[in-house]
Structure 1
Amino acid sequence: MEVITGSCRLGLWFVHAAWGGNRVYRVRFAREGLPGGDVPVPLRRYCAGMREDLTTLESPATEADTVTAAVYRAVRRVPYGETATYGEIAALVGTAPRVVGMAMAHNPTPLVIPCHRIVARDGIGGFSPELAIKEHLLAMERENARKNRRV
């Protein structure tokens, strides 16, 4: 299968993606867009601020029989507009919160594996390349979830 690369806007940033079909291989955040292709429709809609279910997209990172892949699978189950702590994910997987943090830091497909929904027990936690992206994503999801509850 051909791997396509492209980008779309997310607030002040761009989301760069490499994908084929519904399989996303890489997601990165940058200040400038990529020339050429777009990103998969669900990802584009999500980045445009729409409530979108990204579980329709696959990430190869969830497929191995490793602790890291188990962490990624658990993180994918955190609902849109909600958060879980590193400790809660660690308890689900049977590992330590620090292991969850390391997995989040090396997540090859953020948004598809929504690492922004994983927060510290006493604060927001970290996010690469900028914490402001995590804050933006959490605020966008909270607002969309709030709107959905009102309807």
Structure 2
Amino acid sequence: METMSGSCRLGLWHVHVYWNGDIVSRIRFSRTGIEGSVPLLIRQYCAGKPIDLGGIFSVAMQGETPYSRIYRAVREIPYGKTATYGEIARHVGTSPRVVGQAMARNPTPLVIPCHRVVAATGIGGFSPDIGIKELLLEMEKKGRKVLLKPSP
């Protein structure tokens, strides 16, 4: 099966997705879009729907490397919640600095929700723009309220 690519909107950004079936090999943020399709779950997530991306996988989670273990731990952070670099480090037996390095090198943000990893004293970093992390956290905060509302 050949790798597909496309983009969808996320606020002022375009989310470029490179994927094959249910495995995503790369996601990046750009000011311009590219033609092609994007998996439905990712399109819905970017549209602000409170979607669980658990049915989509990242190539970065495969194997037993320090980074793949970190990526799998980050994947466990629930929608609308955050964890600190230190909490993830303790969970996988490494240092917060290594967790930060893994987040900076994450090839598939959103699928591995690195925006949910924050510093103990603030929001932490995000490439290419901290505004994307702020947007994602705010979007999930609003979506979580929808998820928690009792049905009539």
* TM-score, structure 1 as length reference: 0.98
Q: Secondary structure at the match of 2:27?
A: strand
**Residue correspondences, number:** 150
Q: Deviations over 1:36-66 (max 9, x none)?
A: 2121000000000001111100111001211
Distance 1:52 1:147 in 2: 11
The residue number in structure 2 matching 1:38 is 37
Tell me what 1:68 maps to: 67
SS where residue 131 of structure 2 aligns? helix
Structure 1 partner of 2:87: 88
How does 1:3-22 map onto structure 2 within 5 Å?
Answer: 3-22=3-22
Where does structure 1 differ by over 2 angstroms across 4 or more consecutive aligned residues? none
Q: In the alignment, which residue of structure 2 is the partner of 1:52?
A: 51
User: What is the percent sequence identity of the aligned residues?
Assistant: 58
Q: Return the alpha-carbon distance in structure 1 between the equivalents of residues 147 and 108 of structure 2.
A: 26
Q: Which amino acid aligns with 1:14?
A: H
Structure 2 CA distance, aligned partners of 1:132 and 1:72?
A: 22
Q: Partners in 1 of 2:84 and 2:70 — Cα distance?
A: 12
In 1, the alpha carbon distance for the partners of 2:5 and 2:32 equals 14
Cα distance in 2 between the residues matched to 1:84 and 1:134: 14
* Aligned equivalents of 1:48, 1:102: Cα separation in 2: 29
Tell me the SS of whatever aligns to 1:136: helix
Q: Who is 1:26 aligned against? A: 26
- Give the alignment of 1:69-148 within 5 angstroms: 69-148=68-147
Describe the SS at the equivalent of 1:42.
helix
Whole-angstrom distance in 2 between the partners of 1:26 and 1:52: 19
Residue 102 of structure 1 and its aligned partner are, at CA, apart by 0.1
CA distance in 2, matches of 1:102, 1:144: 28
Matches of 1:52 and 1:38, distance apart in 2? 18
- CA distances 1:56-110 after superposition (whole Å, capped 9, x unpaired): 0011100121110000000000000000000000000000000000000000000
Amino acid at match of 1:12: L
Alignment RMSD, CA only?
0.6
TM-score normalised according to structure 2 size = 0.97
Task: Give the gaps of 5 or more residues in structure 1.
Answer: none
